A and B are shown apart, each in its own frame.
Chain A
Amino acid sequence: MQKFAVFTGSCQSLPVVQYLLQTNQLACVVLVDGQPNPDLMQLQQWLKQQNITTLPYSKNGDDALLSQLDRLAVNCGVVYLFRHKIRKPLMQYFNGELMNIHPSPLPEYRGPQPLYWQLRNGETLTKLTMHQVTQELDCGDIACDVEIDIHPFDTIQCLYQKTSQALLHLISQYCELKQNNQLALCKQTTEYTKLAPALQPSDLVVNWSTCNTSDIVNMAKAGNLDRFCAQLIFRQSTFQLLQASKVECVLKGITPGTIIELGLKSGLIVKTHDGAVKLDILGATQGCFDGYRFALLFGLEPGLVFDNDVAVNSR
């Protein structure tokens, strides 16, 4: 009989919890250690309503948790959206039965921001991958995976939702394989080209001298309504870029970052290296606006140039 502990800190993992609960395989949920946030508080409330046992994870050590897991006869674990690195004693306790869910086609996009970087790189397909937890992050053997299409208009929020929906499929597939003794772990290939590192503030700023049109369109999608929102700099002020679209442009000799068109129908269009980009939706402390209204309100006109960083004037 399998008794699972789910390690998480987000409501986005509820499909896993619900599936295990309904199939009588859930023993407890181990919650992250840290300041409560709205997502975590909502999760705690839901777990309480369902009378699900919750165990606290401690940054200081695993002893207390291990004894509680043992008391509940937990023998399997699933980790998803759990911000802590699993320590060796916990891994030893599960003896290879602790699985992590990583939203990328591993070994590509190992790291803390896989969905962001996949959108930013314009990927059209991703995977939700169940793999063994190992000392080295995101490197364990793969148990199973589920493919997820990325639509050209998908934002980071769309992908969060899609991965959440795919979770149920993934956990049920994993449990069935396990019950039928058909689970075959596969080693990850050693070749990979892309990583998903933590984001630095400079990663979020649109640099017109280095970014091409697709980069800018993807940056906006990857950060839409998220704390990693793409940023534009104009006259030392920072604005959020929530949506952008590629536009054909044959103009020559124009500096990338120069506003080349403004119109009610055409919107706010900016020259890039390889064409032009329409700034569809922008955010400021005053609100969200389409490019046209934003430009009229903030005095942006064709001929003016966006900056590449805050320290615009080097003199």
Chain B
Amino acid sequence: MEKQQAEHGPVLDYAEPRVDELLKHSIRTQLESLLKAKLTTGQRQQVLQKSFTDAMTLVLSDTKIEHSTLLKAFEAMYDQAVQSMALAQLSEELLTKQYVSASGLIMSPHNCKHTIKDVYRIQGYARGLDRAIHSKLKHNDSVTILYPACGPFAPLLLPLLSYYKESKKFTNKQVKVILVDVHPGAILALTQLVEDLQLSEYILRIEEADATEYKPSESIDILVLEAMQHGFTKEGQLSIAKHLVQFLTIDGLMIPQNVSVRGMMVVGETEFNQQWKQAQYSHSLNVNNEAQQDRVELGEILSINKSTLLNMQELELQDGVKVIPASKIKLPSGVKDMGKRILAIYAHIDTFADEGVEQYDSGVTHPRPDMTFYIDAKPKDIEHTHFVAHSGDMVQFYYQLSGLPGFVPVKL
């Protein structure tokens, strides 16, 4: 629609998207502002590019930025990005299609679009990536980045590329990016966004492919691993990383450099409710000391980095399900209220250097309660399939590589 209007000259060159009813319903505010503003395509693209650059300028700044300022900048980026998505004219089928594949959950563009508002995840990755690119370019003329399962907005890279272009920090000769996603709707939206951001010069390819099978033709200097949800569950993060790590150059970097998945036994009310009663927002800086001290840490369950990925051994169970052995943990003894506690699994993400995403900073590092793990307690259901153990027991954790990956504890 927009392109057709462009052919008739700038007078009619307003964004009047033919938007699917569902998308229209969920992004009504953004559409209203788009239509009210009566911007030409060029003007709209400028506003979009500015919102991306502004957000990155704040994120990469070394001075402390107020939470509300960051939030406002990311909201603006989100608003502009969904306007671009609306102009991609995704059909309802493409917009909402979501499914479990053999290696993980493939989210719909409709549900993925909020990732670009995940302030501290993007901050941790953008700062880490910026430093990683910088360090690579000290010794190389260019850096090739692969971003698998990037979704409709590729939120960990496109804002950064906008910033590079605007600030002229790195040129398209220095930074080359391959964007991969299996969802055709995400590819359509992504293509529109790259065009709107005028970043095509930085993009080597946008590929519609399953990241767990994708074989890039060039060596990869930086692999960006995003596809994950809290508790390191559901999405195919590990299968993707395990497959693509082989395409990294010898000194290639995986961003994040390390993901440490840990377990703890918590009193649900203290950890997830009381701890946040006084806090303005959920963030690692706002955790409550008392609640933190009340935790019973189980330790690291799994560590994911370039080295562990290359050495990871898969086991195939009788029913064909593949698992990866994770840590063996001795359950702590002498905790009086252990029977009332629940297992919570959380991740700490080190993106690069000292940049990262800590617990509660993002949806992906938010501790995930597991209501099926019982220590010193019995499930009330008669026919249960829950894990039951006692203080002092040794537990071997496995990571199941199925359509909905996650941890499976086994009592030794």
**CB closest chain-B residue, reference A207:** B383
Q: Are B321 and A296 in contact (CB under 8 A)?
A: no
The reply to whether A263 and B93 contact each other, CB–CB distance below 8 Å, is yes
Which among A252, A292, A302, A315 is the interface contact of B402 at CB below 8 angstroms? A252
Whether A253 lies near B379 (C-beta < 8 A) is: no
Residues of A within 8 A of B111 (CB): 301
Residue A61 is within 8 A (CB to CB) of chain B in the complex: no
Residue on A with the closest CB to B369? A315
Q: When each residue 243-269 of chain A gets 1 if its CB lies under 8 Å from chain B and 0 otherwise, what string results?
A: 000000011111100111111111001
* Distance, CA A296 to CA B21, complexed state (A): 13
Known A253-B403, A314-B381; judge A263-B99 contact (CB<8 A). Answer: yes
Q: Does B98 contact A (CB under 8 A)?
A: yes
Q: What DSSP secondary structure best describes chain B's contact surface?
A: loop
- B285 within 8 A of partner (CB): no
A262 touches B97 (CB 8 A): yes
- Highest count of chain B CB atoms <10 Å: which of A209, A253, A266: A253
Q: A263-B99, A314-B379 are in contact. Are A253 and B93 (CB under 8 A)?
A: no
Is A260 in contact with B381, judged by CB distance below 8 angstroms?
no
A36 at the interface (CB under 8 A from B): no
Q: What chain B residues lie within 8 Å of A262 (beta carbons)?
A: 96-99, 108
Q: Which residues of B contact A250 (CB under 8 A)?
A: 102
Closest-by-CB residue of A relative to B106 is: A302
Identify the closest chain B residue to A276 (Cβ).
B100
Nearest-Cβ distance from residue B350 to partner chain A, whole angstroms: 27
Distance A255 CA – B99 CA, assembled complex (angstroms): 15
Task: Tell whether, in the assembled complex, residue A252 and residue B93 are in contact, meaning their CB atoms are under 8 Å apart.
Answer: no
Q: Do B342 and A303 touch across chains, with their CB atoms under 8 A apart?
A: no
From B91, B108, B384, B400, give the contact of A314 (CB < 8 A). B384
Within 212-265 of A, Cβ neighbours of B (below 8 Å) are at 250-255, 258-265
A313 contacts partner chain B, Cβ-Cβ < 8 Å = yes
Complex partner residue of B319 from A252, A302, A313, CB under 8 angstroms:
A252
**Once bound together, how far apart are the Cα atoms of A262 and B93, in whole Å?**
10
Q: Report Cα–Cα, A269/B234, bound state, in Å.
A: 17
| Given contacts A262-B97, A262-B99, A314-B380, A254 and B22 within 8 Å (CB-CB) | no
For window 90-127 of B, CB contacts with A under 8 Å fall at 91-93, 96-100, 102, 105-106, 108, 111
Q: Are B97 and A254 in contact (CB under 8 A)?
A: no
In the assembled complex, how far is the CB of residue A303 from the closest CB belonging to chain B, in whole angstroms? 5
Contact status of A260 and B403, CB under 8 A, knowing A252-B319, A301-B111: yes
Chain A hits for B93, CB < 8 A: 263-265
In the complex, the answer to whether B100 meets A302 with C-beta atoms within 8 Å is: yes
- Complex: chain A residue closest to B22, CB-CB: A296
Rounded to whole Å, the gap between the CB of A171 and the closest CB of chain B is 48
Q: Is the CB of B105 within 8 A of A253?
A: no
**CB-contacts of B178-237 with A (<8 A):** 234
The interface residues of chain A lying within 8 Å CB-to-CB of B234 are: 303
Interface SS, A side? loop
How many residues on A have C-beta within 8 angstroms of the other chain's C-beta atoms?
Answer: 27
B96 CB to closest chain A CB (Å) equals 6
Alpha-carbon distance A260/B104, docked complex (angstroms): 10
Does B385 make an interface contact (CB < 8 A)?
A: yes
Within the complex, what minimum Cβ distance (angstroms) separates A5 from chain B?
A: 50
A311 to B99, CA, bound (A): 28
Question: Quick one: which of A209, A261, A315 contacts B98, CB cutoff 8 A?
Answer: A261
CB distance from B208 to the nearest CB of A (A): 16
CB distance from A308 to the nearest CB of B (A): 8
Decide if B404 is an interface residue (CB 8 Å cutoff). yes
Q: What CA separation (Å) do A187 and B97 show in the bound complex? A: 58
Given the complex of chains A and B, what is the CA–CA distance between A209 and B382 in angstroms? 13
Docked CA distance A311–B383 (Å): 12
Within 8 A of B (CB), among A273-315: 292, 296, 301-303, 311, 313-315
Instruction: Report B375-392 residues with CB < 8 Å from chain A CB.
Output: 377, 379-381, 383-386
Cross-interface CB contact of B92 among A255, A264, A311, cutoff 8 Å: A264
**Interface digits, B317-331 against A, CB 8 Å rule (1 contact, 0 not)?**
001110000000000
Q: Are A303 and B100 in contact (CB under 8 A)?
A: yes
Across the interface, which residues of A come within 8 angstroms of B319, CB to CB? 252-253
Q: Which among B96, B105, B400 has the highest number of chain A CB atoms within 10 Å?
A: B96
CB distance from B407 to the nearest CB of A (A): 12
B310 in the interface (beta carbon within 8 A): no
Please tell me if B412 contacts chain A, counting CB pairs below 8 Å: no
CB distance from A292 to the nearest CB of B (A): 8
Q: Which of A260, A266, A302 has the most CB of B within 10 A?
A: A302
CB-CB under 8 A for A253 and B100, given A258-B404, A303-B234: no
Which B residue's beta carbon lies closest to that of A258? B404
A259 contact set on B, CB distance < 8 A: 100
Identity of the chain B residue whose Cβ is nearest the Cβ of A265 in the assembled complex = B93
Asked if A261 contacts B342 (CB within 8 A), the reply is: no
**22 A-B pairs in the complex with CB atoms less than 8 angstroms apart:** A250-B102, A251-B100, A251-B102, A251-B403, A253-B321, A253-B401, A254-B403, A254-B404, A261-B98, A261-B99, A262-B97, A264-B96, A266-B97, A271-B100, A301-B111, A311-B381, A313-B371, A314-B379, A314-B380, A314-B384, A315-B342, A315-B377
Q: Name B residues whose Cβ lies closer than 8 Å to a Cβ of A.
A: 22, 91-93, 96-100, 102, 105-106, 108, 111, 234, 319-321, 342, 371, 377, 379-381, 383-386, 400-404
